[in-house]
A and B are shown apart, each in its own frame.
Chain A
Amino acid sequence: DGGITQSPKYLFRKEGQNVTLSCEQNLNHDAMYWYRQDPGQGLRLIYYSQIVNDFQKGDIAEGYSVSREKKESFPLTVTSAQKNPTAFYLCASSSLAGGNNEQFFGPGTRLTVL
């Protein structure tokens, strides 16, 4: 089956710890994205990547880092510098062909800081 997988589904973190959220896609998409979802605020873009070894900051990149060493993988690290990390994190991918930029989302990771 083609799609996007995210792991873990639930993640608990103590204050001061870095955590890494996994995102893998087998859709052969060039572009990948990380969004943060908070109640009543829609989806806010954290980082995005158009090609391997290249990525750009989104609207709320502070306290987060990413890497894109493989086309299929785009992990997100939530660092201790992120002051309010408790949220639902969504990874997405899109094909650059066709031009419409339809985004395919993974099932999400719910991060809770204890």
Chain B
Amino acid sequence: QQQVKQSPQSLIVQKGGISIINCAYENTAFDYFPWYQQFPGKGPALLIAIRPDVSEKKEGRFTISFNKSAKQFSLHIMDSQPGDSATYFCAASRVGGFKTIFGAGTRLFVKA
């Protein structure tokens, strides 16, 4: 199966709170898991990515947690800010491969 399932579809968080977005995949051949951030009217941009040889990767306020046995990974945004309001896509691909499978996206709104 090539799908990547993403939840929730939308999320509202108070300023300073933690935003959590979850994704699950089925194809165990995937070995590269990026998250993309998209602002309205713009193209997505890579936010952070992880490979399955580590269980967590942190860059500033953004953290990916990875559970290889459960085939799940999640994005945590600490101290969420109104400027984080965007659509977030998880994705999966094979290192060296050409196709990336995207989740359906999560629209995050951070209330000031």
Q: Which residues in A have some Cβ–Cβ distance to B below 8 Å?
A: 4, 31, 35, 40-45, 48, 50, 58, 90, 92, 94, 99-108
A100 cross-chain contacts in B, Cβ below 8 A: 32, 34, 49, 95
CA distance A100 to B49 in the complex (A): 9
Question: Does the CB pair A31–B43 fall under 8 Å?
Answer: no
Instruction: Say yes or no: is B93 at the interface (Cβ < 8 Å to chain A).
Output: yes
A6 to chain B, nearest CB (A): 8
Question: Does the CB pair A107–B42 fall under 8 Å?
Answer: yes
Q: Which residues in B have some Cβ–Cβ distance to A below 8 Å?
A: 6, 9, 32, 34, 36, 41-46, 49, 89, 93, 95-100, 102-105
**Which of A35, A40, A94 has a CB less than 8 Å from the CB of B104?**
A40
The residue on A at minimum CB distance from B97 is: A101
Question: Does the CB pair B43–A40 fall under 8 Å?
Answer: no
The residue on B at minimum CB distance from A56 is: B98
B105 cross-chain contacts in A, Cβ below 8 A: 40, 42
B49 cross-chain contacts in A, Cβ below 8 A: 100, 102
CA distance A35 to B103 in the complex (A): 13
CA distance A108 to B103 in the complex (A): 19
Question: Does the CB pair B99–A45 fall under 8 Å?
Answer: yes
